[in-house]
Amino acid sequence: MRIADRMSVIKPSQTFVVNSRALELKAQGMNVTSLAIGEPDFSTPEHIREAAKAAIDADFSHYTAVPGIPELRRAAGEYFGRQYGVTVPMESIIIAAGGKHALYNFAQAFINPGDEALIPSPYWLSYPDIVTLAGGVPKIVYAGTECGFKVTPAMLDSHAGPKTRLLILNSPGNPTGAVYTQAEMDALVQWAIDRDIFVLSDEIYDQLVFPPAKPATAVGWFAKHPDQIAVANGLSKTFAMTGWRVGYLAAHPDIIKKITTFQGQSTSNICSIAQKAALAALTGPLDCVERMRAAFQRRRDAAIRTIESWSWAVCPKPDGAFYLFMDVSRCYGKYAANSTEMCTLLLDRAQVALVPGGAFGDDNCLRISYAVADELLTDALERVGRTLSELAV
C-alpha cells in the first residue's frame, strides 16, 4: 500500500492507544479502571448543553465564518480579560477544533523546514509530532523530578542554537501537573524574546490550578509583543467539553489570517452548534468550573497521600491539571524493564490502565490521570500500589 513519507514521522498518540485498549478489555468483561486518558469525568454543565439545544432548535445548522462566529471570537478574547485583565481583540483570535487543532494549525503557519522548536520535557506527547509534521525539529529540554519538572532559562540556553525559532510552554503541564509561577514564566518568555525566539504558550489547564498556586499566563506578553507570542487554550478541560472540540488561539492578526486560509482549505469552520455552546461557556457563570477544580484538588490530595506512603515511588506534588507523573524506576527489573512493560504488567495484574512515561519523554515514570470518581481512584491506586510493592527492590 502506498503511504506518503510524512506519515512515517508520526506515532500514534499513546493516550488514545492505552485508553482504547482499556475500553476493549472492559468490553470483554474485565474489571479495568482507566486512569489513562486526560478528560474530566464530569458532565458538560447544563447551561452549556442548553445553549447547544437552543442552537439546534433555532436551526443554527449551516457553515459559519471559517475563524468562528464573531461573537465567539470576541468572547474568547474577552475571556482572557476576565481571567487575566488583558482583553485580546477579535482579529487576534481564531476558533479551532480543540486546543490540539489550534496548536497544529499554528505550527503549520509558523514553522519552516529545519526550524528548531524547544520543548520542555516531560512534554505532552503531541508536541513533537505537531512540530515534526510541520517540517520542524523538536529539541527536547529535560527537567526531571529534582527540578519539579520545570525548565529554567539556563537549561533552555544550553539547547538553543542558530536555528531555534520556537519555544513551547505548557503550564499547568501535561503529564506532570507542574505549574510555573508568573515570575518563572516571565523569565522564560523574556529569555526567548531577547533571542528572537517565538513563544507558543499552551494554557489549556489554566483554570485547573490548586491554591496557593496561581496560573501563569503569557497573554500579558502577547499584548506587548504580539509578533513574538501566541497563546492556545480550549474548552475541553475547563468546561468538561472534550468531545465538543472547541479550542482557540490568540496570535498576531497576520498569523490568524494565514491560519484562517489554512482552515478554509482543510476543516472550514468548527461545528456551528459547538460554537454556540462555547459562547455560553465563555460568557456564562463559572461556579461550575470552580466545583470541578475543587474536586480535582481533593483527588490530587488523596492520591498524593497514598503515593507518598509508597517508598518505591517518587512523585512531586503537582499544583495543577489532573495528572500525577510518578517515577517507578525502582520497580523496574525482571518483570518490567521500562515504562511500557510496566503499564502492560499493571494492566494485567492490577487491571489499571496508565500511560507509559516514555511517551512523554521520561521512561522512568508512569502517568496517572485522576479525572475519575474518588472511589475508583482510591481502589485503582490500591491495586497499583500492591502490584508495585511486589516488584520493588
Q: Which residues bind ligand PMP (CB under 6 A)?
A: 38, 98-100, 124, 170, 174, 202, 204, 234, 236, 242, 247
Nearer to ligand PMP, 281 or 331 (CB): 281
The rounded distance, in Å, linking the Cα atoms of 159 and 284 is 43
Considering only the stretches 36-44, 76-84, 307-315, 346-354, report the one whose residues sit in contact with ligand GLU under the rule CB under 6 A: 36-44
How far apart are the C-alpha atoms of 200 and 255, rounded to whole Å? Answer: 12
Cα–Cα distance, 230 to 153 (Å, whole number) = 19
**Binding partner of residue 234 among ligand GLU, ligand PMP, none, CB under 5 to 8 Å per kind?**
ligand PMP
Q: Which residue is nearest to ligand GLU, using beta carbons?
A: 38
Site for ligand GLU in 101-130 (CB under 6 A): 126
Decide if 236 contacts 204 (C-beta within 8 A).
yes
Question: Does residue 139 sit in helix, strand or coil?
Answer: strand
Q: Are 263 and 105 in contact (CB under 8 A)?
A: yes
Nearer to ligand GLU, 17 or 187 (CB): 17
Q: Whole-angstrom Cα distance, residue 134 to residue 165?
A: 13
User: CA 188, 189, 195, 198 torsion: positive or negative?
Assistant: positive
CB atoms closer than 10 angstroms to residue 288? 20
- CB closer to ligand GLU, 170 vs 260: 170
CA 221 vs. chain centroid, Å, equals 21
- Measured from the CB atom, the residue of 164 and 171 that comes closer to ligand GLU is 171
Q: Which of residues 167-196 bind ligand GLU (CB under 6 A)?
A: 174
Contacted by 64, from ligand GLU, ligand PMP, none: CB < 5 to 8 Å by type: none
Decide whether 197 or 278 has the Cβ nearer to ligand PMP.
278
Which of 371, 379, 367, 21 has the alpha carbon at shortest distance from 178? 367
The C-alpha cell that represents 279 in the structure block: 459562547
Candidates 33, 34, 38, 342: give the one binding ligand GLU (CB under 6 A): 38
Residue whose CB is less far from ligand GLU, 16 or 82: 16
> CB of 22: closest distance to ligand GLU in angstroms?
12
- Residues near ligand GLU (CB under 6 A) are 13, 15, 37-39, 100, 126, 174
